[in-house]
Structure 1
């Protein structure tokens, strides 16, 4: 017998066995299609589970779950504390965790135009052995310019990468082995330059979860039923409900998919004994969405070097649960931390509010942002005219264009996918993507591609 204590937010899935037949869990796969990640402890199989975060498990020698109990309970216990005191506590805690995780290591720091990596750059700017990098989409916004400005201000060595169109097809089978087909393949852009990381350092320092932890949904206090409605809208991807419902009917499952989905969300939300709507939804999303989607995508980094994540530390979760919601809203703590400790970084463009920075982002509204919006729109229109469409979405790099389409069709129509999904359904959603609405149907196509790889590599 062995004991496993799962973190509040795991870096990777830990799988175990439960009673049941070794057959596909079609209900779980339908939820996977709708959400883009497996929900709760679901996997592809009825006799296999992913261990839930924040629990202690007893497993036997054959890896079967014998018992489990919670060691962490999500809560919202705001203290009567000033913003200045909260900021001081955040500063001390964040810098302590970053130092513990990175001391005596050669650190690789991904930089972006946002706040999470910039916050880490402040904590790491005096680290003696660190290199940084960023990437642009081919034909997309030049995010590396902002990242390089941050790196230069911190005197970090910096490497710029370009995520090329169609990179996925050279590495898709490797990626399937890495993430075990527990999430789709369009988001882990790191695969485009996987080998380059091997000689860059010893560990990654990643800022995942900062944007969820230190922001608010900005919702009023809602009834439980309205909270469920919000979660349905939050979790279901465009086109995901349509494909999941189609397969639910095709596979002859009881009732309707939508009723099943709402019941699963409803029962899961009941477990969170938190009154405040925003705090409850943050806890729910962390426990389910981040643990099974964001964390699963960390497997790409983890396949190269160990990963460290300051926001995944238990102390950070306990701190967050004690901070008044009004201080978490609108990224206040991260912005104040950067402005106080690295005002030069605060003056660099904030990509989400470009062309404004952390001192001027409140001006990102009409009429102040009109000149930038008009200029940017004209540039995009001109590039469209000369045959260089603007790329802003992951799937555009992998699915758009003649060469991409050839690879996509091979996986969808010439693989074992047809043993699980009828050819008519595959063709319907592929045609909808090509001829009807690429934005809406990119997700269903991506999930069909994921199932195709699963069928080829794991459903033998």
Structure 2
């Protein structure tokens, strides 16, 4: 479910703005002279996904969910308390706001954005959680009103919004398949900062942002065994609090360890495994499900599923990720028909694994390369920029220079670092958490958002209690130990004894054995075994080979035949340049990164709307009166 709104300080707003911008009937509508709020008409799947509550002087809307409150975070005495299941999450927040003002946000645990309209104080506030897990996009119009939406693609359709593609931030998206910090590829449109209160004064229209939380890396001098025990205990507590008797839960299960950990603390769950055929990864996942006593449900994709995502996900709400990354969007009925809630292991590696700790790569010549589990020191902003550039797909001929863009958006502010409008207390905090703080810095935001809208969903790793533990764990444990694997060993030894699909050894083994197993298995697959999948684009892992998929099917040409004129009109490579890039890819140079990002942009409705380049060559004209039903189809 998407939420949209407009705030106008001069009191000249009327409910008609909703009909003009969002003409379809909406599930929730609220309009005064200052404030207009609307949501899409689909019934709300997720608990608290869009809940609202009202008192005599305050009205609030909660986008997402709230799990509990820790008074210690605000300097008060007392222990963490879970939100009672029978207490509406919006009402829960409203009651605390009326007692303490914004102070309660420091101790609030959840994945949410909270909207508060305080009529007595004549202010409207948008409050984000610690990591910005429920992004809200906003802009200011020429007449001074503030327009916001949880779907960035709908903001340009507002009658008073004047925007275009921003060449520099579009370049960043094409290079990294994400935009960083608060920036988007649309001029004047930004995301709310994580951990902030953005207040709009309805008297003069002024906007003020207050930061109530930032990540601070403060490693504890504790043994690895202490962290394993603490992590396992907190993880079990988080899942136990969210699940309840009488409800059925599902897990997105891979052949790895993160989702296996979720399954280790659940009973009578359904294990959903997405794959393109019954390969090694799928067989390992099935073994895990059977050992856990869970029902195994294979969600078979195939090439048609991947290619169909171009149309199915075109209204997906962010410039973070590819068209393919709302991975479950084609399986909504199969999942919602079986379970009441869903859990995943998303963000485990970003918060507790080695993904966010820079490590050097060792070239092995014709045998490939391997990542060495030692930390690569990043001591200056310039070195951090170099690190980002190493990960970029930047072979496109664009009018902007990527290094210049990064250097102008990442800089010191005293002892702090500002990265695309988001402030970090230190360079160390940026290096370790810049890939997931805000959460939209991670390119799986599309997947996370799609799951959140489909049904009650939770990734336990985004609970404040686990975020706090991540901030206290020494980086050496993230690089050279397997916290998740050892937690599974503690919680369910039978699950831990099953090999990891990527290493071939059980996740209960020591890190050196797992590390050696991973690289040996990779070497074996590349240079020794004669095993070949039934199709060149199929693999033995969790994903198909996108490079071979592009070579095996001509969907790139089909997109360009129908939408090539859009590429000619926006500040990126034109259609001929994209065709040349595709030709290069088909002759064994891997250009998946560039091609998939370009295909994502070209199939977004916002691209057609902004380029105003619709011709009579088959491109479908966007009808503003029907776009809401299109949004619902994506969900």
TM-score by length of 1: 0.83
Structure 2 distance, partners of 1:265, 1:387, is: 44
TM-score by length of 2: 0.62
**Which aligned pairs between 1:97-108 and structure 2 lie closer than 5 A?**
97-104=238-245, 105-108=247-250
Answering whether residue 540 of structure 2 is matched by residue 399 of structure 1, we say: no
Structure 1 distance, partners of 2:487, 2:436, is: 23
Question: 1:242: which partner in 2?
Answer: 395
Structure 2 distance, partners of 1:338, 1:428, is: 48
Q: CA deviation at 1:75?
A: 1.0
Question: 2:367: which partner in 1?
Answer: none
Answer 1 or 2: which has greater strand percent. Answer: 2
Unpaired stretches in structure 2, ≥5 consecutive residues: 1-122, 143-161, 358-373, 413-417, 613-635
SS of the residue aligned with 2:324?
coil
Structure 1 distance, partners of 2:352, 2:382, is: 23
Structure 1 distance, partners of 2:227, 2:517, is: 34
Q: CA deviation at 1:312?
A: 0.8
1:77 to 212, 218, 236: 218
Q: For this pair of structures, how many residues does the alignment match?
A: 437
Describe the shift of the 1:188–1:180 C-alpha distance in structure 2 as closer, same or farther (beyond 3 A).
same
Q: CA deviation at 1:231?
A: 3.1
Q: CA deviation at 1:87?
A: 2.4
1:451 to 584, 601, 616: 601
Structure 2 distance, partners of 1:319, 1:374, is: 37
Q: CA deviation at 1:233?
A: 4.1
Contact 1:164 1:397 in 2 (8 A): no
Q: CA deviation at 1:248?
A: 2.2
Question: 2:479: which partner in 1?
Answer: 329
Q: CA deviation at 1:387?
A: 6.0
Describe the shift of the 1:152–1:179 C-alpha distance in structure 2 as closer, same or farther (beyond 3 A).
same
Answer 1 or 2: which has greater helix percent. Answer: 1
SS of the residue aligned with 1:222?
coil
Greater CA drift, 395-404 or 204-213: 395-404
Describe the shift of the 1:328–1:365 C-alpha distance in structure 2 as closer, same or farther (beyond 3 A).
closer
Describe the shift of the 1:211–1:387 C-alpha distance in structure 2 as closer, same or farther (beyond 3 A).
closer
Contact 2:274 2:298 in 1 (8 A): yes
Structure 1 distance, partners of 2:526, 2:176, is: 32
**Larger C-alpha radius of gyration, 1 or 2?**
2
Q: CA deviation at 1:382?
A: 5.3
Describe the shift of the 1:291–1:444 C-alpha distance in structure 2 as closer, same or farther (beyond 3 A).
closer
Question: 2:283: which partner in 1?
Answer: 145
Describe the shift of the 1:58–1:135 C-alpha distance in structure 2 as closer, same or farther (beyond 3 A).
same
Q: Deviations over 1:127-167 (max 9, x none)?
A: 35x211112234x8431111111111110111012220132
Question: 1:228: which partner in 2?
Answer: 384
1:8 to 126, 130, 141: 130
Q: CA deviation at 1:186?
A: 3.0
Q: Deviations over 1:373-432 (max 9, x none)?
A: 5477555x4537x8645435552475231454553443553x533321433322332222
Question: 1:88: which partner in 2?
Answer: 229
Q: CA deviation at 1:210?
A: 0.7
Q: CA deviation at 1:263?
A: 3.2
Structure 2 distance, partners of 1:56, 1:406, is: 46
